């Protein structure tokens, strides 16, 4: 990937040039199996998703609500681990250039070897990492290793993040800023947070990176409402719920068709702005 523009950066640059908003999907890797993860990724590309976040299954996903915790458990049960996920991304790359982010806990990088994990991500065709529990102040050589591999360093900003810390975080990020619109863990909500516009304006005073807003968005109206204030909308738990409901009871093509029909109206709502 070195020498090439990062796919995430390129996608957001193209969206900005067209005056369009982005749609980001989160799914658990290997839920219900890795063949389904690959087929879903290609399906998301077909219906206009802009970035795919894949959760790397972990035994103790503290930032996740129950829906995504159970997805991580199903991923572990299907035998999913980082090497197998790298193989899946390589297979996706044969057919698709959809930007891919790994959503991962630092313990997995630490055990695998941080530098080796980053290099293997780049070789497989991963475009960025969102390390849930790695604050910039404690990142050590992580950011330099990511830059040399051509990967985007995606950091989180929360509603409770003070101004001076927002400035520190966004200056050390690349690709996009992930704004968590609610305190607490991931999960679906009845309505979107009321202060998204105010917070995205505050973040923009410190950076011109695109802002993707997630946590709690689960239908087209909510997605469209959030997209008014942000460069992109992230939907995770609501999609993971659809995958869980279908589970292993349907074929992979049927699973993909069901998930596509759920996601497409949200993509269309965001793209209609």
Domains held by the chain: number: 1
How far is Cα of residue 6 from the mean position of the Cα atoms in its chain?
15
Residue 87, token pair as written in the block = 């193989």
Is residue 182 in a domain? yes
Is residue 137 in a domain? yes
The boundaries of the domain holding residue 94 are 7-271
- Check the CA dihedral 73-56-7-236 and report its sign: positive
Is residue 190 in a domain? yes
Is residue 67 in a domain? yes
Report how far residue 132's alpha carbon sits from residue 105's, in angstroms, rounded to the nearest whole number.
Answer: 5
Q: Residue 44 has what pLDDT?
A: 98
Report how far residue 11's alpha carbon sits from residue 14's, in angstroms, rounded to the nearest whole number.
Answer: 5
Do residues 187 and 215 lie in contact, with contact meaning Cβ atoms separated by under 8 Å? yes
Residues serving a catalytic function are 53, 64
What φ, ψ does residue 26 adopt, rounded to 5°? -115, 135
- The domain spanning residue 240 has which CATH number? 3.20.20.70
Q: List pLDDT tens digits, range 147-205.
A: 999 999 999 999 999 999 999 999 999 999 999 987 655 555 666 777 899 999 999 99
Is residue 144 in a domain? yes
Does the pTM of the predicted model rise above 0.85? yes
Is residue 1 in a domain? no
């Amino acid at each position: 990937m070195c020498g090439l523009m990062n796919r995430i950066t390129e996608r957001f640059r193209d969206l900005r040039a067209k005056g369009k908003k982005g749609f980001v999907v989160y799914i658990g890797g290997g839920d219900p199996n890795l063949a389904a993860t690959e087929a879903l990724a290609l399906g998301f590309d077909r219906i206009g998703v802009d970035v795919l976040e894949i959760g790397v299954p972990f035994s103790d996903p503290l930032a996740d609500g129950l829906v995504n915790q159970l997805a991580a458990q199903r991923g572990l049960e299907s035998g999913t681990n980082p090497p197998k996920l790298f193989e899946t991304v390589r297979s996706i790359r044969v057919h698709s250039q959809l930007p891919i982010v790994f959503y991962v806990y630092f313990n997995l990088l630490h055990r695998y070897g941080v530098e080796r994990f980053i290099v293997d991500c780049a070789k497989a065709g991963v475009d960025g990492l969102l390390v849930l529990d790695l604050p910039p102040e404690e990142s050590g050589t992580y950011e330099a290793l990511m830059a040399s591999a051509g990967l985007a360093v995606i950091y989180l900003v929360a509603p409770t993040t003070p101004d001076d810390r927002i400035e520190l975080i966004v200056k050390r990020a690349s690709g996009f800023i992930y704004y968590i619109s609610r305190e607490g863990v991931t999960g679906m909500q009845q309505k979107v947070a009321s202060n998204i516009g105010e917070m995205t304006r505050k973040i923009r005073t410190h950076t011109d990176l695109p802002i993707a807003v997630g946590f709690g968005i689960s239908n087209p109206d909510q997605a469209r409402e959030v997209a008014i204030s942000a460069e992109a909308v992230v939907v995770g738990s609501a999609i993971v719920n659809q995958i869980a409901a279908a589970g292993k009871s349907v074929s992979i093509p049927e699973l993909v068709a069901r998930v596509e029909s759920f996601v497409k109206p949200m993509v269309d709502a965001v793209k209609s702005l």
